Structure 1
Amino acid sequence: MPPAPPARARRRQVPPVPAPAPRPASSSPPPVVPARRRGRSLLGWLVQGLVFGVLGLFLLVLYFAWDLPRVDGVPAATRRPSVTLLAADGAMLATQGDLYGETVRLKDLPRTLPAALMAVEDRRFRSHWGIDPYGLARAALANWRAGEVVQGGSTLTQQLAKNLFLTAERTTRRKVQEALLALWLERRFSKDQLLEIYLNRVYLGAGAYGVDAAARLFFGVPARRVNLWQAAMLAGLPKAPSRLNPRASPDLAVARAAEVLEAMVETGAITQAQMEAELGRMRLPTPPSRQAGWFADWALEDLAETFPGNADLVLRATLHARLQASVEARLEALLAGPGARAGVTQGAVVVLDAHTGAVRAMAGGREFRASQFNRATSARRQPGSAFKPFVFLAALEKGMRPEEDVPDGPLTLGSWSPSNGTWRPRGEVSMEEALAQSVNTAAVRVLFRAGGPRAAAEAARRLGIDGRFPNDASIALGTGEVSLLELTAAYAAFANGGLRVTPFGITGAQATGAALPVPRPAPRRAMTPEDAAAIRRMLEAVVARGTGRAAAVPGRTVAGKTGTTQDFRDAWFIGFTGSSVIGIWLGNDDGRPMEDVRGGTLPARLFREIVEAGL
């Protein structure tokens, strides 16, 4: 039989436990955390924050530093070759490229030069470590108060880092890189070494890099010989070298130097009495001729072909600074006075040596800063009767003589009838008198006896005039086009006995102390001495009793020719005395007529004034 199921166990009856009554929250104290456990938790957070902060800072520095330039040494200066153009007396006329002077040592410089620099640029230079938090805070506060950037917080080391390794762009990335490089420079070099590098490499305006180049350029002395006010002026230039340098703005340069002297008093580098004494001594040297820029541009225009290579050049020019200044002053006085009353706004003057072609002075206009266009070399205008000597030269070469008579009566060629102005016909006049009185009808007849327009144009080209000449009789009255420089140079052959000269502006050259050859065409025979003497005699008659009487200088033999174009648009006088040839043109750039200005009036008068001034 199957076993019987077990008897069901009797359950024990357990009465339910009632839930405890809830207590008010305020009566229940929070769980107590041990102080040791709480400290460990806070320390953990601090450690994690420090780790992540260092990691973030490392990544940030890595981001800014990944494209830093190589800093295994101070890079060599990269620069354009410099060209220094000196006048005949050694005065500086112009510079091109970048100028570097001698490398200076701090011990060789006057103590006032680095003191001035630190006083105005970085007073805490000797104490900071490349970055000056105090200076940054001071600059930020000043800029916030002014509402604009009025101060910079960069140290000298930061400026040096930017100049050596970085560009001048204004970005956060560049500023951070500048700070990193400043820290490296401070670890790599001593303070004196940093100052030396800065003083030898800083840009100080007008193409000058370093204090020695700037001292020589602005004051004519090496950096080791600068006085106190000169040191202050140099120290003030890094703020805005292109605007504050003495070449660009003497007044601003002086004002900035005064600010530097005041800063030196504040730092104790000098006394108040020393500052006041230097303010009284501050005198900039006379600046170079303000208009010699036309000469410099012309003299240097073929520089690359004449002196190939990348060496620094020092060129000696033919220009005489004193004569140049005299030419400028008298041209300006004439244009401002009688020229203004006669409607003349422009002029040009060339003075050259008749025997060599050396240009002694050149004014290509009234004001170089207002217009760099050179009216002496680039403007091509009709010369009027100043062209007639070439017509008469062609006639002499055909056998005519100055004493030979030529009809001076009215003349008609087709529809053209040249006018003689106020000249009253005499029937016949000698060639010499026809040139002296600038008789147009006689000049046309001389042209035909000389072989026609082509013969006159050939004579002019042989003497160096590369103009466009009409192939008709009007060429006798100067209806071609010439430049003042080539017309003046052509007249040199009349003065020197018949030799054609080529105008030039450079007489000597040196590269790194070694003399270089200066190529120059030698004068060559362009007419016989007899024909040159005959033309000279006729040109002397122009001044003695003809249209050029206003050019006569008592006690001097003067020869020359006047020229006036239609409606008084151009007025010329080309003349010579001794070994100098002077070419003068007056007119207006737009061809506007002047008021009865002829070659024998204001141009001839200006010629005389230049000669009397000491030519």
Structure 2
Amino acid sequence: MARSAIRRSLSDTPPPSPPPPPPRGPKKSPKGSGGGGGIRRFFRRIFIWGLALAVAGVVALGVAVFVAAQSLPSYQSMKSQAQGQMIVVRARDGQELVSLGPSYGRWIPVAQIPAVMKDAMISVEDRRYYDHFGVDPVGILRSLFVRVESGSWRQGGSTITQQLARNIFLNNNRTFARKAREAILAIALESRFSKNQILELYLNKVYFGGGAYGIDAASRKFFGHPGEQLTLPEAAIIAGLVKAPSRYSPTADQKAAVSRAKVVLATMEDAGAIGASEAAAADFDAVKFAAEKGQNSVRYFTDWALPQLDLLVPENNEPIEVWTTLDVGMQRAATDSVAKNAPAGAQGALVSMDRDGAILAMVGGTDYVTSNYNRAVNAVRQPGSAWKLFVYLSALEAGYKPDDAVVDEPVTIDGWSPHNDGGRYAGQIDVRTAFAYSKNTVAAQLGNEVGFGTVAGMARRFGITTPINTLPSMVLGSSEVRVIDMTRAFAAVAAKGTSIEPYGITKVATTDGRVLYEHKSVTGQQLVPDYVAAGITDLLQTAVNIGTGRAAQIGRPVAGKTGTTSSSKDGWFVGFSSGITTGVWMGRDDAKPIPGLHGGTAPARAFAQYMKIATARRPVEQFETQLKMPEYQVEPDDEANFGQNPEDYYYVDEQGNLIDPNRRNQGNADPRPEDGGQPPAEDGGPPAAAGDDFLNQATGRQQPRSGQGAVAPAPPPVRVSPRAP
């Protein structure tokens, strides 16, 4: 009974309540979906695609290497394959001046190549040569690191095998496609040939400068003995040439070659190829360089002319003959005149051109073997008073005439006070006399009156390519110039004010006679009116007849100008006669003073010695110095001289530019505000009202010339009519 009661009580108890539901919150994504799982899926896909692309790339590379390896020529054919281009250079009469092209020595098997030569080349060009497969990933990464660290490419990543592939099969174009082909060919070479075979090919075919291909040709050219006899210093010199053959060539600069070789020795020591004692024992003073054979001043000309072939006959690799403008007899006379007249310790340069710009002779120094630096076309030196050509051209164009009176007296311009040579002043003289005796004070006054910018513009108009300053002292030749540019400017005067373009190549033909290029004469641009050219020729002739250039007389009419810089650092004479224009410069390369050097001494004498021979077979020509003035200068106030249409009016500004006030666009822009012109309004409407200076120029109101040393505050305007000759 008790048990039944207990059962009843338990059955009467209500069942327990279910547990409360958990609190609501963000639902957790199932494993592998959303959130971190999505990112993991993204990177997994990237990895899979990247791996697939890498595999595809490796397969493609393998196929490319396989195809390249199968198409490679045999080792024997690569040994016999020639590089370089043979060029025969001829004078204007057809005789051979020089034959340029590849020089191949005897092929040296790798076992007979001196160990120091192999070690030097591997150390400096490809230290990991025996550890890579044709392309060096370590070297590429190192090159990239240096690029990021320094901001420029200072270290190449090309291996010796890549260089060999480029030299035999490719060109030097710096493109990604060429680098890719180079890498594929390098791997193909490594897959087909041994390291020793590749090194043998490389050392017998690499270019070392001076036309020498391979270590035997280089050894014979630079040291006069076979490549098997190379010593450690000689091997270091040759290995150093690969980086820049022209810069480090012993024939060009022995000091630079030895300096580069010492870097190679240090690299060999760092690579473990030689010990410190071996590097210290290398005696460069004991190295005997072979004397250059057949090198003479003709090479100055060929060094200037032949690089132009890249423009005249691009993409040509076949043997060619180059016919030039050089006259052998004149070149010989030019070389002799510079060598015999240059002061001791000084250099000299000469450029002589015909009336059409053809270079007849070019001398870039007293001895090409000692120094092949071409001072005739590369050196920039101050021209001194020879620069006055442009000052007086500007004055003549502005309205001066040779007989006009000027005053030679002390003058100060913007704090600058020029002085005449000897400190003497002649007082009132004419323009012709001032030029003949190279009066600095008169040149300064004329330059200030016409505007220094006008003088600079005139020089640029006549072919000066170097920077020109517009400080007052520029009238005395403070801007540096090249000999060839000054000769070109005087040649334009000889051509009655017509521009001249110097040239040295008349024809390029293949050895079988097929013409690839032929020079065509082009009529030059008229730079100044005929009467201005006649006036400056009058002045130049007087300078030779009675002035500072008397030593340049040759028994026939000569027109020219001397030039001497401060402390006699430079001496110039530039002039012309019988259609030939010649410029001569003398001075030291270090610009140190040369006692007694003046333009009227050694340079003028060299000019005369050369020109007597150069003009001997030409008829005597008288200069046209008769001034035929245009009508507008005879009657400057006649309104008819402005032309039938008022819009025909224009004038020359201080920079030597033709300005037409009636046109909005004059080449680059409207007249600048500092030139008196007004810029157009910003909204594109009419320009602002013209200033007083501009109106003075446009209406012809001139400032009176000052007589006692001071100069007019504004340059006189020049009115040019379309009817002017």
TM-score (norm 1): 0.58
Q: Deviations over 1:562-587 (max 9, x none)?
A: 00111111110001111111101111
- From the CA coordinates, give the structure whose radius of gyration is larger: 1
- Structure 1, unmatched stretches of 5+, are 1-65, 101-119, 122-138, 140-163, 165-172, 178-200, 210-237, 254-286
Higher mean alpha-carbon deviation, 381-390 vs 324-333, is at 324-333
CA distance in 2, matches of 1:96, 1:523: 33
* 1:605 alignment partner in structure 2: 605
Secondary structure, aligned partner of 2:307: coil
Specify the alignment match of 1:476 in structure 2: 475
The reply to whether residue 517 of structure 1 matches residue 517 of structure 2 is yes
Deviations 1:202-225 (A, max 9, x none): x9x98599xxxxxxxxxxxxxxxx
1:310 paired to 2:309: no
Deviation at 1:419, TM superposition (A): 0.6
Q: Work out the percentage of aligned pairs sharing the same amino acid.
A: 35
- In structure 1, give the amino acid aligned to 2:532: D
Contact 1:93–1:288 (CA<8 Å) still a contact in 2? no
Aligned counterparts of 2:548 and 2:220: Cα–Cα separation in 1: 51
Within 5 A, what are the aligned runs for 1:1-400?
77-98=81-102, 290-312=296-318, 313-335=320-342, 339-340=343-344, 344-353=345-354, 355-400=355-400
Does structure 2 retain, via aligned residues, the 8 Å contact 1:311–1:511?
no
SS at match of 1:543: helix
- Conserved? CA contact 2:341–2:605, under 8 Å: no
Contact 1:317 1:506 survives alignment (8 Å): yes
Q: 1:399 to 1:345 in 2, by over 3 A?
A: same
Aligned to 2:275: none
Are the aligned partners of 1:351 and 1:583 in contact in 2 as well (CA < 8 Å)? yes
CA deviation vs aligned residue, 1:314-336 (integer Å, no higher than 9, x gap): 1111111221122112211223x
2:312–2:517 contact (8 Å) kept in structure 1: no
In 2, the alpha carbon distance for the partners of 1:560 and 1:394 equals: 17
Q: Distance in 2 between matches of 1:537 and 1:441?
A: 20
Contact 1:289 1:321 survives alignment (8 Å): no
Distance of 1:90 and 1:453 partners within structure 2: 47
Name the SS for the 1:314 alignment partner. Answer: strand
The residue correspondences of 1:363-512 to structure 2 (distance < 5 A) are 363-422=363-422, 424-449=424-449, 451-512=450-511
CA distance in 2, matches of 1:590, 1:79: 39
Partner of 2:562, secondary structure, is strand
Matched AA of 1:526: L
Which residue in 2 is equivalent to 1:582? 582
Please give the per-residue CA displacement for 1:34-89, whole angstroms capped at 9, x wherever unaligned.
Answer: xxxxxxxxxxxxxxxxxxxxxxxxxxxxxxxx99x966986673422333221212
Q: What is the CA–CA distance in structure 2 between the aligned matches of 1:176 and 1:514, rounded to whole Å?
A: 40
Cα distance change, pair 174–599 in 1 and its aligned pair in 2 (3 A): same
Structure 1 residues 549 and 308: CA distance shift in structure 2, 3 A = same
Q: Do the aligned partners of 1:423 and 1:439 also contact (CA within 8 Å) in 2?
A: no
* Alpha-carbon distance in structure 1 between the residues aligned to 2:225 and 2:379: 36
Measure how far apart 1:243 and its partner are: 6.7
1:173-197 C-alpha deviation (Å, 9 max, x unpaired): 99999xxxxxxxxxxxxxxxxxxxx
1:176 and 1:499 mapped to 2: Cα distance?
62
Task: Give the conservation status (yes or no) of the 8 Å contact 1:316–1:506.
Answer: yes
Alpha-carbon distance between aligned partners in 1 of 2:588 and 2:215, rounded to the nearest angstrom: 42
Corresponding position of 2:244: none
After superposition, the C-alpha distances for 1:147-172 in whole angstroms (9 at most, x for unaligned) are: xxxxxxxxxxxxxxxxx9xxxxxxxx
Q: Which amino acid aligns with 2:87?
A: V
Question: CA-to-partner distance for each residue in 1:435-470, whole Å, 9 max, x for gaps?
Answer: 100000011112233x21111111111111122222
* Residues 231-290 of structure 1: CA deviation (Å, up to 9, x unaligned): xxxxxxx99666768xx99x999xxxxxxxxxxxxxxxxxxxxxxxxxxxxxxxxx8660
CA distance in 2, matches of 1:495, 1:297: 27
Q: Which has the higher contact order (CA 8 A, sep 6+)?
A: 1
Q: Which deviations, in whole Å up to 9, do the C-alpha atoms of 1:87-111 show, x marking residues without a partner? A: 21223334444389xxxxxxxxxxx
Aligned match of 2:553: 552
How has the CA–CA distance of structure 1 residues 614 and 458 changed in structure 2, closer, same or farther, with 3 Å as cutoff?
A: closer
Partner of 1:530 in structure 2? Answer: 531
Query: Offset of 1:481 from its aligned partner?
Result: 1.4
Aligned to 1:594: 594
Name the CA shift for 1:309/1:610 in 2 (closer, same or farther; >3 Å).
same
Change (3 A) 1:600 1:73: closer
Q: CA deviation at 1:523?
A: 2.3
**Shift in Å at residue 372 of structure 1?**
2.1
Residue 363 of structure 1, CA deviation: 0.9
Distance in 2 between residues matched to 1:72 and 1:538, nearest whole Å: 71
The amino acid that maps onto 1:385 is S
* Aligned length, in residue pairs: 404
Deviation at 1:550, TM superposition (A): 0.8
- Describe the superposition over 1:351-409 as per-residue Cα deviations: whole angstroms up to 9, x where unpaired: 111x2111111111122222222111111111110010111111111111111011101
Task: Classify 1:370/1:420 alpha carbon distance in 2 versus 1 (closer, same or farther; 3 Å).
Answer: same
Please report how far the alpha carbon of residue 558 of structure 1 lies from its aligned counterpart in structure 2 after TM superposition: 0.9
Counterparts of 1:239 and 1:70 in 2: how far apart (Å)? 23
Tell me if structure 2 keeps the 8 A contact 1:289–1:325. Answer: no
Question: 1:443, 1:427 → 2: CA distance?
Answer: 14
**2: distance between equivalents of 1:350 and 1:70?**
49
Q: Which amino acid aligns with 2:543?
A: V
Q: Structure 1 residues 300-309 or 512-521, which shifts more?
A: 512-521
Is contact 2:212–2:218 with CA below 8 Å preserved after alignment?
A: no
8 A contact 2:337–2:607 mirrored in 1: no
Give the whole-Å Cα distance in 2 for the aligned partners of 1:439 and 1:370. 39
Distance 2:92 2:339 in 1: 23
Question: How many Å separate the matches in 1 of 2:573 and 2:74?
Answer: 65
Distance 1:442 1:208 in 2: 57
State the one-letter code of the partner of 1:326. A
Partners of 2:532 and 2:595 in 1: CA distance? 37
Whole-angstrom distance in 2 between the partners of 1:516 and 1:99:
25
Aligned CA distance change for structure 1 residues 318 and 99 (closer, same or farther; 3 Å): farther
Alignment check: 8 A CA contact 1:92 1:288 kept: no
Shift of 1:473: 1.8
In 1, Cα distance between equivalents of 2:339 and 2:483:
18
Q: Which runs of 5+ in 2 are unaligned?
A: 1-68, 113-167, 169-193, 199-204, 227-292, 616-725
Q: Is the CA contact (8 Å cut-off) linking 2:403 and 2:432 kept in structure 1? A: yes
Provide closer, same or farther for how the CA distance between residues 603 and 409 of structure 1 changes in structure 2, counting only shifts above 3 A.
same
What is the CA–CA distance in structure 2 between the aligned matches of 1:600 and 1:511, rounded to whole Å?
Answer: 46
| Aligned-partner Cα distance in 2 for 1:563–1:89 | 34
Question: The residue matched to 2:597 in structure 1 has which SS?
Answer: coil
Give the residue type in structure 2 aligned to 1:293: R
Structure 2 SS opposite 1:326:
helix
Q: 3-state DSSP class of the match of 1:576?
A: strand
Name the CA distance, whole Å, in 1 between partners of 2:456 and 2:514: 44
Match of 2:676 in 1: none
